[in-house]
Amino acid sequence: MLLDVKNLTSHYGATQVLFGVDLSVEEGQIVALMGRNGMGKSTSIRAICGLNPVSSGQVSFVGTDISDLPSYKSARLGLGLVPEGRRCFANLSVSENLVATARSGPWTLEKIHALFPILKERASQMANTLSGGEQQMLAIGRALMTNPRLLILDEATEGLAPVIRNQIWAALKTLKDQGQAILLVDKSLREVMEIAQRCCILEKGQSVWSGPVSELTPDLQQRFLGV
Amino acid sequence: MTREFWVSVVVLVGLPVAAFIAHITGETYIINLLTRMIVLGLAGIGLNFALGYGGMVSFGHAAFFGLGAYVAGIAAFHAFDDSLIVSMPFELGGTNQMLLIWLIAIFLAAVLAFLIGLISLRTSGVYFIMITLAFAQMLYYFAISWPAYGGEDGLSIYLRNEFPGVQTDKAFSFFLLCFAILLLVLLLCWRFINARFGAALQGARMNALRLSSIGIAPFPVKLTAFVISAMIVALAGALYGELNGFVSPSNLSWHMSGELIIFVILGGVGRLVGPLIGAIVFVLLETYLGGLTDRWQFFLGLILLATVLFANGGIMGLIGGRTRHD
């Protein structure tokens, strides 16, 4: 088991927002974390990565309990987060963004350039001069450069033009074929069902359903996702 | 090559050319003025490493500047009258060798900056400003109340210390020595900034949490930058003591910290050669406007105000074009 989350709860100040999230990702697997707006998907991911405090429950990653680790330590263990809203380092160049946090492993600058050729063209440009889609590719590339055991994508295709979304989904399929484990939050159900093997649904900060994507019937979709 | 690069080249070529002209026309005063620009610029460049690239607005870098100056002063003081700095538990005399003095100044500044940084980098924003100021003031009052080295009156360096192969008491030779150090420091800073370390440092300035979430702890990166910055400023302080032949507690006072910040803001925050330009303008104003009126700092204030309001990125931003820095 790569990532194993059991009965995770978390608070923002005095307000409890997660009431027991269960989630697991195996080596080479793609798991989608789904749910309507405000159900705690991003908070779960922030808690896993050490950006939100874990109040109770277990988060274990490659056999280590990471629930109390500062975020840089869990990142070094191999959690590669692509945060919501594309957070690149605005005033660093594209190549600096990629190289700054790189750790050795199969992913190199050349491979990132092969995956997203536009990043090679834009190598010396400042990240804040990129389009939204290019910034998203940069954020993914930056996370891959840390050679993560598990890539975590929070709303990676939100607010992007359909053409760009397709490019990103294509890149994710490439990653899937290479056996990269991915935990993914996304609202575009059709693409998610194409790429993910398992799915975990949150409602009001709690896990309410999890299973293979093939068992996600229209009835369940209607019930939990409102599609 | 960017416009900023060419502006930097013009400044870095202009200074030695001006000094050379002053040398052949026998204007020692002008040479010393140019040396003063370089030494203060060097200190500004040091501060800029922490302030501009790392976003650490230190209001206490005078501590390192004064430390460097006092190392030069104390070493020379003991070398001059052949007495000992420490007699127990081991004997340590003074020295008049600049290289050794610089090494000691840089080492002591590194230790001091490590300790100050260790505590103050746990805070940020206005608290960081105040805590660095507090540390510098501690040193200032210590220097004032220590009569062995002149206390409030300061300490004279009667004979400029020596550097192998250079006649340091000749104004032009000393200028060239300082200029060589400036170039070396600029080169080192440039290498640091454009290495992965520099990218991580700037990332820590932009968003520490983001940097942390992809696997780099911001604290050690910022602490390292703070220490490097202090080492450069201490070297500048030692040179400043040599240049004036005099060190005093005012080198440690908060006015000095403020002046260093003025060099950086006037010249351009996060621009490699910016603080040097800031120091040049400052020294020019101080000398020529200060000759006309004692209230010259009023006009400095106006210029600083105009720079902040209208010149995005300081003077370097005005003539060298906007850059990457926010």
Average pLDDT over residues B259-274: 94
How much of chain A, in percent, has pLDDT values that exceed 90? 72
Q: How far apart are CA B41 and CA A12, in angstroms?
A: 47
3-state secondary structure of A152: strand
Q: State residue B288 phi and psi, 5-degree precision.
A: -90, -40
Asked whether residue B236 is domain-assigned, the answer is yes
Instruction: Give B147-165 pLDDT, tens digit per residue.
Output: 888 888 999 998 899 999 8
Q: Does A70 touch chain B (CB under 8 A)?
A: yes
Of A70, A90, A91, the CB nearest to B212: A70
pLDDT band (50, 70, 90) for residue B325: very low
pLDDT band (50, 70, 90) for residue B242: very high
Instruction: Give B18-63 pLDDT, tens digit per residue.
Output: 999 999 999 999 999 999 999 999 999 999 999 999 999 999 999 9
Task: Tell me if B199 and A100 make a contact (CB, 8 A cut-off).
Answer: yes
Task: Tell me if A75 and B212 make a contact (CB, 8 A cut-off).
Answer: yes
Instruction: Give A36-87 pLDDT, tens digit per residue.
Output: 888 899 999 999 999 999 999 999 999 999 999 999 999 999 999 998 887 8
Task: Tell me if B325 and A91 make a contact (CB, 8 A cut-off).
Answer: yes
Domain ranges of chain A: 3-225
Q: What 8-state DSSP symbol labels residue B252?
A: G
> Which residue type occupies A202?
L
Of A81, A93, A99, the CB nearest to B214: A81
CA-based torsion, A105, A106, A111, A115: positive or negative: negative
The structural domain count of chain B equals: 1
Question: B186, B179, B180: which is closest to B49 by C-alpha?
Answer: B186
Average pLDDT over residues B287-303: 90
A200, A31 contact by CB (below 8 A): yes
Average pLDDT over residues B227-252: 96
B186, B42 contact by CB (below 8 A): no
Average pLDDT over residues B184-208: 94
At B195 the pLDDT is 92
**ipTM score:** 0.83
Evaluate if residue B100 carries a pLDDT over 90: yes
pLDDT band (50, 70, 90) for residue B323: low
Task: Tell me if A143 and B214 make a contact (CB, 8 A cut-off).
Answer: yes
Q: State residue B73 phi and psi, 5-degree precision.
A: -65, -45
A130 to chain B: which residues are within 8 Å by CB?
Answer: none
Q: State residue B272 phi and psi, 5-degree precision.
A: -60, -50
Of A75, A92, A96, the CB nearest to B214: A75
Task: Tell me if B214 and A80 make a contact (CB, 8 A cut-off).
Answer: yes
pLDDT band (50, 70, 90) for residue B312: confident
Which tokens in the block code for residue A34? 């789904």
How many A×B Cβ pairs under 8 Å? 72
Average pLDDT over residues B96-116: 96
Enclosing domain of residue B153: 3-320
This prediction has a pTM of 0.90
A3, A64 contact by CB (below 8 A): no
Region of B267 on the Ramachandran plot (φ > 0 left; ψ -120 to 50 alpha; else beta): alpha
pLDDT band (50, 70, 90) for residue B130: very high
CATH of A3-225, one of 3.40.190.10, 3.40.640.10, 3.30.460.10, 3.40.50.300: 3.40.50.300
A37 versus B116: which is more confidently predicted? B116
Q: How far apart are CA B114 and CA B136, in angstroms?
A: 14
Question: B245, B257, B81, B243: which is closest to B173 by C-alpha?
Answer: B243
Task: Tell me if A99 and B211 make a contact (CB, 8 A cut-off).
Answer: no
Asked whether residue B325 is domain-assigned, the answer is no
Stretch 179-198 of chain A: residues touching chain B, C-beta under 8 Å: none
Instruction: Give B85-97 pLDDT, tens digit per residue.
Output: 887 778 788 888 9
Evaluate if residue B131 carries a pLDDT over 50: yes
Choose the weakest-confidence range: A119-128, A138-147, A168-177, B306-315: B306-315
Q: How far apart are CA B285 and CA B297, in angstroms?
A: 8
B206 to chain A: which residues are within 8 Å by CB?
Answer: 89-92
Asked whether residue B326 is domain-assigned, the answer is no
At B324 the pLDDT is 53
Instruction: Give A129-154 pLDDT, tens digit per residue.
Output: 999 999 999 999 999 999 999 999 99
What's the mean per-residue pLDDT of chain A? 91
Q: Does A24 touch chain B (CB under 8 A)?
A: no
B214, A101 contact by CB (below 8 A): yes
Q: Where are the alpha helices (DSSP H) in chain B?
A: 3-24, 28-48, 62-81, 98-120, 126-144, 171-194, 196-206, 208-213, 218-244, 254-267, 274-284, 290-292, 296-310, 314-320
A113 versus B151: which is more confidently predicted? A113
A52 to chain B: which residues are within 8 Å by CB?
Answer: none
B74, exposed or middle or buried, with CB in 10 Å at 0-12, 13-18, 19+? buried
Average pLDDT over residues B235-259: 96
B43, B243 contact by CB (below 8 A): no
Evaluate if residue B326 carries a pLDDT over 70: no
Nearest chain B Cα to A127, which residue? B324
Q: How far apart are CA B211 and CA B214, in angstroms?
A: 6
First to last CA, chain A: 31
